[in-house]
Structure 1
Amino acid sequence: MSLRRRQFLQLALGTGLSAAGLDISRAAGRAASRGDLRIGLISDLNSSYGSTAYIPQVSQGLQQLLALKPALLVCAGDMVAGQKRDLTSNQLDAMWESFARTVLTPVRRAGLPFLPAIGNHDGSPGFEADRAALRRFWTPRRQALGLTFEDAGDFPFHYSVLQNDVFWLVWDASSSRIPPAQIQWARRQLGSAAARRAQIRMVVGHLPLFGVSQGRDRPGERLEQRAAILALLAEGNVQAYISGHQHAWYPAKLGPLDLIQLGALGSGPRRLLQGKISPQQTFTTLDIDWQRSWLRETTYAAATGQAVNWERLPAQLNGQAGQLQRNVQRRWIRSQRSLKGQP
């Protein structure tokens, strides 16, 4: 049996939290053991259309996440509450300024780089006023985000970053279809010298590949070109596709690919398609140990700061696009070093 297959079997059989009949782990409030790199993940921060205010859980969860001292904060979209035709330019700019005060400024003051992806409420195709406001806000701030860009030609819609030995590809998944030119761009980026230098590769976009929450498992709420995108991610040796939009956290595994569907930190958390976990605002961390080649995913309830019990998640979800299997919490990473057969 090959080493990689033996490691996979050991991980599949031997990891995970103990089953407990609670919605939160018994290690309430404690951060997961960290490796060499901790990454913070948030998504779906906005409130109702046009709102310039955020619910208290956004700031509460953000402060809890900052206290865990990640090296980078990734947002998978829906930072403001656009996608409404009658919003004026002044209203759109006011929403973005509120986002700056509530989220971006505290993150940057803490010294964290901030990596944003565009959601449907930030700048969906066809909403040209939204997209113009988005450019007005982000373009002058690009150099102040603390990111090491590899390709920033169409920032903030799609771009790539090499940060902390992780290659990040961010694309415009603010609608259900990735433009063909952007698919080709992604293929070139994942095959680039920068991607090859990285230990692992991550792709971030707002819409997911599968529906996981009630009311969102339907066409238009997930990416259409699933087979082509999965082939692209496999070809590019991508560790994980990180997405939002579903307003419910579910960590899945599809072949070698991690599918990290983030919950909402803002308004409107949803129930999963199956299971009994109540809707709640959440944020997530990824801890990576390079030497031992593992990654650990932990999600926290913003209301309490306590880790969500992994074993309370359904072992699988059955949706319109097929069945998803729950991932293991700590898993082997597809490092470029291991793929090359190096020790």
Structure 2
Amino acid sequence: MSIQTERRSFEMIVDAERFRTDKGPWFGKLPEQLGRDYSFAVMGDRCGMSIDGVFEQGLEVLRDMKPDFVLFVGDLIEGYWRDPASAHEEWDYIDARIERTGLPFFQTIGNHDFGTQAMADVWSERKGHEYYAFRTGDSLFLIVNTEDPFEELSDEFIGMIKRATEGVKREPDRASEHLKAFYDEIVAGLSPEQLKQMGQITLAIGERQLAFFEKVLADNADAKITFISMHRPGWKAEDASFAKLEKLLEGREYAIFSGHLHSMEYTKRDNRRYIQLGRTGASPHGNGRGDENLMLWVTVTDGKPSFRVLHLDGIGDIEQYPPTAHHHDKE
């Protein structure tokens, strides 16, 4: 394995032997002037079972706010296609809208993006690299693929996903009802043992990928902080590959961003932060504040990060506020 690097204003790091391509799951490049102080946004799942227009609204908000770049934690498209044409159609739509913002945008693979062999083939054709890293100043970023290899679902299960997705698309105001019907359909066909397993988080990070990140971390031992983007929250799984990744990160200050569960959570343990992003367009899995549509704003000042949550459900267009006559009662 060799690691290809390109050192300009920032360093892009890829596994060039495994992925022999000039394509990548990113748009644009970091600004030339980026230094120790910068800001970036993290967007949560757009899918599964997306609510039309929400992710697009998030892109418009970020275009106005102008972060230095955007991280995305996976599940950009509904996916789970067996035919490549349908996958290409979904990617054509959302890629065009991301590119239109003009913002540097770094993607992470999610299960919806990569859940069948056809989806994996389309990813390879369009985006090339399944995992990668980059560095800017004293900050190192690892973009991890937790679908390595992807979990093969049955045609029956994919059919259930498709029916629920169509229901949400047809009746977005009844998204919670369609999700409940989806889960009820799943539960009805499971044994008690399968029901127990259903609540467990699983993921896969292949040995070659781990070897890549081991070398990246060794070559960047002087980085002051490391940010990791992965779709599935590895800290919630009993998984040997994630445990090995955390062993490689030992002694570093780091923050891990994930998605998958559509609900915002924050945990800090010593020099480690675990941030599970809420949804940015996907259907809700609950009805708490963390289940609202949101994005994360990260400001790095002199190598130290701070985090602010932006709730899209509370952001409105100016046209929604027409003038009205106001009357003040006399005291």
Offset of 1:39 from its aligned partner? 0.8
2:239 aligned with 1:224 = yes
Larger-Rg structure: 2
Amino acid at match of 2:53: P
Q: Distance in 2 between matches of 1:132 and 1:287?
A: 36
Matches within 5 A, 1:78-157: 78-84=75-81, 87-102=82-97, 104-107=98-101, 109=102, 112-124=103-115, 127-139=116-128, 155=129, 157=130
Offset of 1:65 from its aligned partner? 2.4
Specify which of 257, 281, 289 is matched with residue 293 of structure 2: 281
Matches within 5 A, 1:265-280: 265-271=280-286, 276-277=288-289, 279-280=291-292
Amino acid at match of 1:106: R
Q: Give unmatched runs, 5+ long, in structure 1.
A: 1-34, 140-154, 212-221, 307-343
Say if 1:42 and 1:284, in contact at 8 Å, map to a contact too. Answer: yes
Say if 2:263 and 2:290, in contact at 8 Å, map to a contact too. Answer: no
Larger helix share, 1 or 2: 2
Provide, for residues 190-248 of structure 1, a one-character-per-residue CA deviation record: whole Å limited to 9, x for no partner: 111xx24544221211111244xxxxxxxxxx46224333222225x251111111111
Aligned to 1:68: 65
Aligned to 1:42: 43
Distance 1:117 1:238, change over 3 A: farther
Q: Distance in 2 between matches of 1:242 and 1:77?
A: 10
Please state whether the residue corresponding to 1:303 is helix, strand or coil. helix
Please state whether the residue corresponding to 2:275 is helix, strand or coil. strand
TM-score norm. by structure 2 comes to: 0.62
Size of the aligned set, in residue pairs, is 226
Distance 1:254 1:229, change over 3 A: farther
Please state whether the residue corresponding to 1:191 is helix, strand or coil. helix
Say if 2:257 and 2:274, in contact at 8 Å, map to a contact too. Answer: yes
Specify which of 164, 167, 173 is matched with residue 146 of structure 2: 173
Q: Percent identity?
A: 20
Offset of 1:68 from its aligned partner? 2.1
Provide, for residues 27-82 of structure 1, a one-character-per-residue CA deviation record: whole Å limited to 9, x for no partner: xxxxxxxx92111101211243xxxx862211112212232221011111101111
Please state whether the residue corresponding to 2:233 is helix, strand or coil. coil
Aligned to 2:307: 297
Provide, for residues 129-175 of structure 1, a one-character-per-residue CA deviation record: whole Å limited to 9, x for no partner: 10111122224xxxxxxxxxxxxxxx1x1111123542111121135
Aligned to 2:255: 240
Say if 2:42 and 2:296, in contact at 8 Å, map to a contact too. Answer: yes
Aligned to 1:207: 232
Q: Distance in 1 between matches of 2:137 and 2:121?
A: 31
Say if 1:263 and 1:283, in contact at 8 Å, map to a contact too. Answer: yes
Q: Distance in 1 between matches of 2:51 and 2:138?
A: 33
Aligned to 2:213: 186
Q: Give unmatched runs, 5+ long, in structure 2.
A: 1-35, 151-202, 317-331
Please state whether the residue corresponding to 2:289 is helix, strand or coil. coil
Say if 2:262 and 2:279, in contact at 8 Å, map to a contact too. Answer: yes
Specify which of 254, 260, 270 is matched with residue 269 of structure 2: 254
Please state whether the residue corresponding to 1:172 is helix, strand or coil. coil
